[in-house]
């Protein structure tokens, strides 16, 4: 057979040289918006923990406190129709992407008003209108999906619309997930097929009780793992939303332009336990205090006060606003009816057959043409 | 109208190619599907027609490329994933069972997964135990997926088209042993709907129910048993999810005897499920308990004589029918 030149057998053998500058900082109102989002996420998670204590939330539940800048800074750097897929610690990203907190809370309460009608729970937040393709409970499972979302946007742009690839997918994972085989397969495919996906490693240094160096080789040089798949990398301060955004914007623009993957290690810290039942015996209180000393919200507040005329009153006002918003979300979720029994057999198959009753959209989507 | 006789493998190729011509969202990916024309030459010529963007060679990375295809299906593309063998799908169990089958449910109806996983399933080629999996009983346990097993070229094409057009994930199980068999496949577009079993042989004394390749042994057994005066009715179930139990029940109510032939192992299997349902719905019609023929409860052996003895072969089926009809 004649030799056929395909994109596939032209996979690069060298890491492309990429020098990315930092994107310019947006105007004050946008920066204030980030502060508001980070405050919202933190307040939401505090109320999530309370609701869990009060048994309104069941199962496994993982809060995002401490890591807010990663989701907010990275999501701010891409377009609203760029797909996002993530692991189970997913409330923060859902809110940063624009999901109304009431749908997120109602999902955890197992109510019909939840984003997935109470069928997914804390670890599985989905939001089609906001191009959020789920939290995923199996560690690492979201990484091939991320490659697939990027494959799809590229296929849509290039094959269906006969144009240039113009989307980029954000695929988040924890430092525990870098030990999963699925992630290496996803990186290899992304590198091989030139998929515009950014793998964002949220390195909070622990997977449950396992400190990263107890689970991963080359723990202080994680970029070697992506380099092995021909994927460029960057290391960013995940506790500084400004720097997160500035690096991320250049990276996302480059991935979009070049239709190539990227690996970003965002260095961050989770303040609370892994889930709701973690006494945190594997680390010291001193370490925690040190980490909380460079808190992402404090840092943005200080930056905005110093350079953008934010005042203590302004901060108080924002805080009040998000407290009200979250209280209303909790109330709304409490008042949302329990998911009715007829939902049990819905959404198993698209069509009706046997005991299965087809599918229907959650309340969150009503009015949406999906 | 004159018969158009083609091979089973070409029927599969026609189904994929025609659907890809009709719908640009459909594409094929898998190991060796493009430049090599498919490990079993099913996708022969498809790279030439559709190009490397739609007929995609993947590395040996079942978990990765299955997951990737599922991600693409969540956006509404319609991937066909070829497993060189369903035996190799075991390393992709998490994406195909956890993601494809449950995405619609877990997302509360927001994201479906219109995807076809297809490839060779079953023993019989002296490939040893790792390469001889019959995955139907393992995977049919999972709600959210559909499962289809074609027996002849006509069904191969018609059922694969149905699978590709289905908005749910479909597990499509082909037998390598059947790929070179030939049959009539009409020129015109047609589909074979899911959930409709097919009575392939009419008979009065015993109902034989099977799926895919073991039907071949059912026909051989029916010939032999006919010489003994036992008249078998043979039902090709065609799809396991949905299962057309009604057609099976109707037949058993007529014959009053039933043998289920299933190439997977017996414990918690398609055979045990079908038998249980027949017992339930034909409780007063059965003259004997439902007999079952399976592969023996051991890993698939390599040696030809052992492998043939292990499979649900003609001898075992004949014995089961004689026993079920008190002709021993
Ligand atoms: C395949 C799989 N194995 C184990 C678990 C249990 N588990 C859930 S979260 C977790 C730790 C993951 O840590 P990391 O990836 O660092 O994410 P983080 O919790 O820090 O956000 C483990 C072991 C799982 N959900 N999936
Ligand atoms: Mg971690």
> HEC profile for A28-60?
HHHHHHHHHHHHHHHHHHHHHHHHHHCCCCCCC
Please name each of the domains of chain B with its CATH number: 5-184 (3.40.50.970), 198-324 (3.40.50.920)
Place of tokens 């804390």: A122
Distance CA B272, CA A226 (A): 47
Contact call for B99 and A145, based on CB within 8 A: yes
Residues with CB under 5 A from ligand 2 (ion): A 174-175, 204, 207
Q: Do B75 and A8 touch (CB under 8 A)?
A: no
Task: Give the SS3 label for residue A21.
Answer: coil
- Cβ–Cβ gap A148/B108 under 8 Å: no
Of all residues in chain B, the percent with pLDDT exceeding 70 is 100
Per residue in A35-45, pLDDT (tens digit) is: 999 999 999 99
Instruction: Band the pLDDT of A369: cuts 50, 70, 90.
Output: very low
CA of B225 to nearest chain A CA: how many angstroms apart? 35
Q: What is the pLDDT of residues A144-168, one digit of tens each?
A: 999 999 999 999 999 999 999 999 9
Q: Using DSSP, state whether A135 is helix, strand or coil.
A: strand
Predicted structure pTM score: 0.95
Give yes or no for a contact between B166 and B193, defined as CB atoms under 8 angstroms apart.
no
Q: How far is A149 from chain B (nearest CA, A)?
A: 5
Planar angle of CA B109, B114, B115, nearest 5 degrees: 140
Residue B2: CB atoms within 10 A of its CB come to: 6
Under CATH, which number does the domain A24-207+221-276+286-340 receive?
A: 3.40.50.970
Half-sphere exposure of A44 (CA within 13 A, CB side): 32
Q: How many CB pairs under 8 A join A and B?
A: 177
Rounded distance between C-alpha atoms, residue B27 and residue B80, angstroms: 6
User: What does the pLDDT average to over A88-99?
Assistant: 98
Q: Where are the domains of chain A?
A: 24-207+221-276+286-340
**Residue among A126, A144, A192 minimizing CB distance to B71:** A144
Of B85, B93, B68, the residue nearest B130 (C-alpha):
B85
Radius of gyration of chain A (CA): 21
Q: Are A174 and A204 in contact (CB under 8 A)?
A: yes
Question: Which residues, in sequence order, are bridge partners of residue B184?
Answer: B5
ipTM value, please give it: 0.93
Find chain B residues with C-beta within 8 A of A136's C-beta: 99
Give pLDDT, residue A7: 46
Inter-chain contact A144–B67, Cβ cutoff 8 Å? yes
A228-249 residue pLDDT tens: 999 999 999 999 999 999 999 9
Per residue in B132-147, pLDDT (tens digit) is 999 999 999 999 999 9
**Would you give the distance in Å from CA B74 to the centre of its chain?**
25
- Is pLDDT at A328 greater than 70 in this prediction? yes
User: Which chain B residue has the Cα nearest residue A123?
Assistant: B106
A107 within ligand 1 shell (Cβ under 6 A): no
In whole angstroms, what is the distance from residue B138 CA to residue B148 CA?
14
Q: Residue A138: CB within 6 Å of ligand 1?
A: yes
Q: Residues B168-206, buried b or exposed e (16+ Cβ, 10 A)?
A: bbbbbbbbbbbbebebebeeeeeebebbebbebbebebb
Q: Does B68 touch chain A (CB under 8 A)?
A: yes
């Amino acid at each position: 057979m004649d030799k056929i030149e395909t994109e596939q057998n032209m996979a690069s053998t060298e890491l492309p040289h990429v020098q990315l500058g930092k994107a310019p900082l947006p105007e004050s109102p946008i920066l204030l918006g980030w502060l508001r989002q980070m405050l919202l996420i933190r307040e939401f998670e505090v109320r999530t923990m309370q609701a869990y204590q009060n048994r309104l939330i069941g199962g496994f539940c993982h809060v995002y406190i401490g890591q807010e800048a990663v989701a907010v800074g990275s999501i701010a750097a891409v377009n609203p129709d760029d797909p996002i897929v993530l692991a189970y610690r997913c409330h923060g990203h859902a809110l940063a992407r624009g999901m109304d907190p009431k749908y997120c809370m109602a999902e955890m309460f197992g109510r019909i008003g939840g984003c997935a009608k109470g069928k997914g729970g804390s670890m599985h937040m989905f939001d089609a209108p906001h191009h959020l393709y789920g939290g995923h409970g199996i560690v690492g499972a979201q990484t091939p999906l991320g490659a697939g979302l990027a494959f799809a946007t590229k296929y849509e742009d290039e094959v269906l619309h006969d144009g240039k690839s113009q989307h980029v997918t954000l695929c988040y994972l924890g430092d525990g997930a870098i030990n999963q085989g699925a992630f290496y397969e996803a990186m290899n495919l992304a590198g091989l097929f030139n998929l515009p996906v950014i793998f964002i490693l949220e390195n909070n240094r622990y997977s449950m009780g396992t400190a990263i160096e107890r689970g991963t080789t080359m723990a202080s040089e994680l970029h070697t793992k992506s380099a092995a798949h021909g994927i460029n990398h960057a290391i960013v301060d995940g506790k500084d939303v400004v720097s997160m955004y500035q690096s991320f914007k250049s990276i996302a623009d480059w991935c979009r332009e070049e239709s190539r993957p990227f690996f970003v290690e965002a260095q961050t810290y989770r303040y609370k336990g892994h889930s709701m039942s973690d006494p945190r015996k594997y680390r010291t209180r001193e370490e925690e205090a040190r980490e909380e000393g460079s808190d992402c919200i404090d840092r943005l507040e200080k930056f905005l006060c110093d350079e953008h005329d934010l005042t203590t009153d302004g901060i108080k006002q924002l805080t009040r606003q998000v407290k009200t918003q979250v209280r209303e979300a909790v109330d709304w979720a409490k008042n949302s009816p329990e998911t009715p029994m007829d939902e049990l057999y819905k959404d198993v198959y698209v069509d009706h057959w046997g005991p299965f009753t087809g599918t229907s959209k959650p309340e969150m989507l009503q009015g949406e043409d999906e | 109208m004159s018969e158009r006789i083609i091979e089973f493998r070409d029927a599969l190729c026609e189904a994929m190619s025609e659907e890809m011509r009709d719908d640009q969202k459909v594409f094929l990916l898998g190991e060796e599907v493009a430049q090599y024309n498919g490990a079993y030459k099913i996708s022969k010529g498809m790279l030439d027609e559709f190009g490397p963007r739609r007929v995609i060679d993947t590395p040996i990375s079942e978990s990765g490329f299955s997951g990737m295809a599922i991600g693409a299906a969540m956006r509404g593309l319609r991937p066909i994933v070829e497993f060189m063998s369903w035996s190799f799908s075991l390393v992709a169990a998490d994406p195909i069972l956890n993601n494809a089958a449950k995405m619609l449910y877990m997302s509360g109806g927001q994201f479906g997964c219109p995807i076809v996983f297809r490839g060779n399933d079953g023993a019989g080629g002296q490939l040893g135990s790792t390469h001889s999996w019959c995955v139907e009983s393992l995977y049919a346990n999972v709600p959210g997926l559909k499962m289809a097993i074609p027996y002849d070229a006509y069904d191969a094409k018609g059922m694969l088209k149905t699978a590709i057009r289905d908005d749910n994930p479909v597990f499509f199980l082909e037998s390598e042993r059947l790929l070179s068999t030939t049959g009539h496949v009409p020129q015109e577009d047609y589909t074979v709907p899911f959930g409709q079993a097919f009575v392939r042989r009419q008979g009065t004394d015993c109902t034989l129910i099977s799926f895919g390749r073991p039907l071949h042994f059912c026909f051989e057994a029916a010939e032999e048993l006919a010489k003994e005066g036992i008249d078998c009715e043979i039902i090709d179930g065609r799809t396991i999810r949905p299962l057309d139990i009604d057609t099976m029940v109707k037949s058993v109510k007529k014959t009053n005897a039933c043998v289920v032939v299933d190439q997977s192992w017996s414990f918690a299997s398609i055979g045990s499920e079908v038998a249980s349902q027949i017992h339930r719905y034909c409780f007063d019609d059965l003259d004997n308990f439902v007999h079952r023929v399976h592969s023996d409860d051991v890993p698939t052996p390599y040696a030809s004589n052992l492998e043939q003895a292990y499979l649900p072969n003609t001898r075992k089926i004949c014995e089961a029918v004689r026993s079920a009809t008190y002709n021993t």
